[in-house]
Structure 1
């Protein structure tokens, strides 16, 4: 089946980030070449994801194949060219989005620094599904308002950033289960004495391996995660109860009032009593460190 649907949007509003063009295409001839030196959309960014077949990207003196499940991510201001080879065995089918706006360029820099100009995502990933949703909104629901489209683009970009960060934490299903088991135990027992040995025993793994897994997944240690949960609970109790400060510290797992005060000051730059009274600067019933 031959697919082709594409949409372009033209306006002079440079105050927001929005779509320049988006579409779904299937090419099978070597005339398809997108070279940065022949483009008028300088300052834009492009994401192009392969559904089937294969394309190629030339950038930074290298050639990258773009097979199924891979996407190019380039800034038009960079010297590059992506294209279809005439000797390919099947057409190159892809979806793409071209975005204009300074924030898009900033996010592109983040992704390229982490993953390079070619990234891999599953066809059923939230990133690709949201791109299909944008195409559907335009094609079927006839959404063309630039502000509505800007909202969709921001959502898509947030998914892109999150998926890139989640890939850094890709540690396998079994390890994810172990980390969640550890986190749940901490959340349910932060008011009790908890040691690294106890956490490792609960998770049935070596404590050093637990620390490595936790650091890779959460970018923090199990005991730092525990301290965050204890402080969160203390902050809430200080604002929502009349309990004395020393009792709150004890209920949140701190072994002494002095240690509670020391740790609390590290987080809030004030004592627990000062926080309880200072409702103008921190008018919140709860603060989270996730």
Structure 2
């Protein structure tokens, strides 16, 4: 059953928290469904994702459609209007969230300027899954206090940003065997001459296609992945004071000591020698880069 839920707060919420104003799942087929951002009350951000059919959206003088699998973001108050149009489809089904809080400027500025007001999001992408979970917990009265709710909205916002930056990758994306082979080969042959041509041979893919698709699964290019694994290995080997820095560089695939030093300093913030001399805590036995 399609339902919507509105929220009221019994006292002023800390300005550093998000406030959930409404959330809902609706299906409309009446052209009376129409919302104008200058006429409705209140404020905040609205995110709405089309499940079925298509809606129309106007922002200022610009007109858009919002088809299945696409979302739009608008702020209130603002000169916008979204509505059902029977000439576009018989029924428009969607899920939405309306909230306000101290980070909403990111959605209003950074996201809209970078991606525009309408963008595609896959059904199994993290922000959609988190939105459904929040809607379900609301319907089942399973929400906790305002701090937990604010945290969940912030988690959703970060997932939206990551989803768009990563090219809209699903949450549980299965990495094809070709790309797993490349990652394993890099790890096992870190000292070898790991050219893009060689990695393409391992993957049995065209190298241009490899470069295009590899970031969908690892969030960085193949050669950046090689660099990160090499510097991680170098940081591990530098703990062995029996190895010279020249040997460490060679064991990590660097034939030029000066180039190795430049790359290491850029990635770690220290020269290889300074890193070796640094006393690290026991909790920092290995260096890892988060892609």
Task: Give the TM interval when normalised to the shorter protein.
Answer: 0.7 to 0.9
Instruction: State the match for 2:132 in structure 1.
Output: 132
**Going by fraction, where is helix more abundant, 1 or 2?**
1
Partners of 2:87 and 2:194 lie apart in 1 by 63
Partners of 2:167 and 2:265 lie apart in 1 by 34
Whether 2:19 is the aligned partner of 1:22: answer no
> How far 1:57 moved relative to its partner?
0.9
Please give the per-residue CA displacement for 1:193-229, whole angstroms capped at 9, x wherever unaligned: 3233322332334545545655787676543432221
The 5-angstrom pairing of residues 262-281 of structure 1 reads: 262-279=262-279
Partners of 2:176 and 2:108 lie apart in 1 by 28
Please tell me whether the aligned partners of residues 54 and 68 of structure 1 are also in contact (alpha carbons under 8 angstroms). Answer: yes
Please tell me whether the aligned partners of residues 4 and 26 of structure 1 are also in contact (alpha carbons under 8 angstroms). Answer: no
Partners of 2:92 and 2:150 lie apart in 1 by 28
Partners of 2:264 and 2:221 lie apart in 1 by 18
Whether 2:114 is the aligned partner of 1:110: answer no
Match of 2:284, SS? coil
Whether 2:25 is the aligned partner of 1:7: answer no
Partners of 2:223 and 2:64 lie apart in 1 by 43
TM-score, length of structure 2 as denominator length: 0.81
Instruction: State the match for 2:100 in structure 1.
Output: 100
What's the Cα RMSD here?
Answer: 3.4
Please, which moves more after superposition, 185-194 or 81-90? 81-90
* Structure 1 residues not aligned, in runs of 5+: none
> How far 1:230 moved relative to its partner?
0.9
> How far 1:89 moved relative to its partner?
5.5
Distance change (3 Å), C-alpha of 1:4 and 1:72: same
Please tell me whether the aligned partners of residues 4 and 22 of structure 2 are also in contact (alpha carbons under 8 angstroms). Answer: no
Instruction: State the match for 1:120 in structure 2.
Output: 120
Partners of 1:135 and 1:220 lie apart in 2 by 33
The 5-angstrom pairing of residues 21-100 of structure 1 reads: 21-42=22-43, 44-85=44-85, 90-100=90-100
Match of 1:29, SS? coil
Instruction: State the match for 1:190 in structure 2.
Output: 190
> How far 1:47 moved relative to its partner?
0.6
Please give the per-residue CA displacement for 1:25-80, whole angstroms capped at 9, x wherever unaligned: 233333322111113323x1111122234321111413222233222211224310
Partners of 1:108 and 1:184 lie apart in 2 by 41
Please tell me whether the aligned partners of residues 127 and 159 of structure 2 are also in contact (alpha carbons under 8 angstroms). Answer: yes
Partners of 1:28 and 1:168 lie apart in 2 by 29
Instruction: State the match for 2:251 in structure 1.
Output: 251
> How far 1:274 moved relative to its partner?
1.4
Distance change (3 Å), C-alpha of 1:37 and 1:257: closer
The 5-angstrom pairing of residues 134-173 of structure 1 reads: 134-167=134-167
Partners of 1:223 and 1:22 lie apart in 2 by 43
Match of 1:200, SS? helix
**Which runs of at least 4 in structure 1 moved beyond 6 Å after TM superposition?**
215-219
Distance change (3 Å), C-alpha of 1:143 and 1:81: same
Please tell me whether the aligned partners of residues 232 and 288 of structure 2 are also in contact (alpha carbons under 8 angstroms). Answer: yes
